[in-house]
A = this chain, B = another copy of it.
Amino acid sequence: MVTASKPLRADAARNREKLLAAATQLFSERGLDVPMEHIARRAEVSIGTLYKHFPTREDLVAAIFPERLAALDVISEKALADQDPWHAFVVYLEDVYALQAEDRGLNDILARDLPNAPEVVSACHRGAGHSEILIMRAIESGTLRADYTITDMATLTRAMAQVIRDSPGEWRRFLSIYVEGLRAP
């Protein structure tokens, strides 16, 4: 997937890296809505150059987040390897939201209607697939309430996004209460 279509000129390559670094940092700190001007400024590059490299905000997101989202796969794998289905499911939730809590941009991506970047979308689909397996396993083991669905988890994710934003110190407790409500009767 390393499209080496045309090798960039040296200065262009340098600027591209500076832009990515600046955007990575700002997205993470302030979320996906940071003004484009701020990104350019932090990269010490003009706004025109930013738009040359990344014509839309989406392009920037698409360049940055696939790597971030790879962390989700690591979390999924860890959970899928866990022998205890309930434990796997609960730890999975904790890990996912811990990741979200560390990165305001990721939080935005998971919470709102996602960007269309194919790589981002597919990472989310992958995540959803893994979640579904974890849910099924936990239901089958008789520990998770039988009517739990991936839709419920999507709702939870949006709720958690909000909690993380407003009260970063509270999200673990909030989650733990919710999780208690998830046990099979």
- Spell out A's residues near B (CB within 8 Å): 111, 145, 151-152, 154-156, 158-163, 166-167, 170, 173-174, 176-183
- Bound complex: CA A156 to CA B162 (Å): 10
Contact A163 B159 (CB under 8 A): yes
Find chain B residues with CB under 8 A from A174 CB.
152, 155-156, 159
> Which residue of B has the minimal Cβ distance to A180?
B181
Copies in the complex: 2
Indicate which residue in B145, B162, B167 contacts A162 across the interface (CB closer than 8 Å). Answer: B162
Residues A152 and B177 in contact, CB atoms below 8 Å apart:
yes
Note all chain B residues with C-beta closer than 8 A to A183.
180
26 residue pairs bridging A and B, Cβ less than 8 Å apart: A111-B162, A151-B170, A152-B170, A152-B173, A155-B167, A155-B170, A155-B173, A155-B174, A156-B174, A158-B163, A158-B166, A158-B167, A159-B160, A159-B162, A159-B163, A159-B174, A161-B162, A177-B178, A177-B181, A177-B182, A178-B178, A180-B181, A180-B182, A180-B183, A181-B181, A181-B182
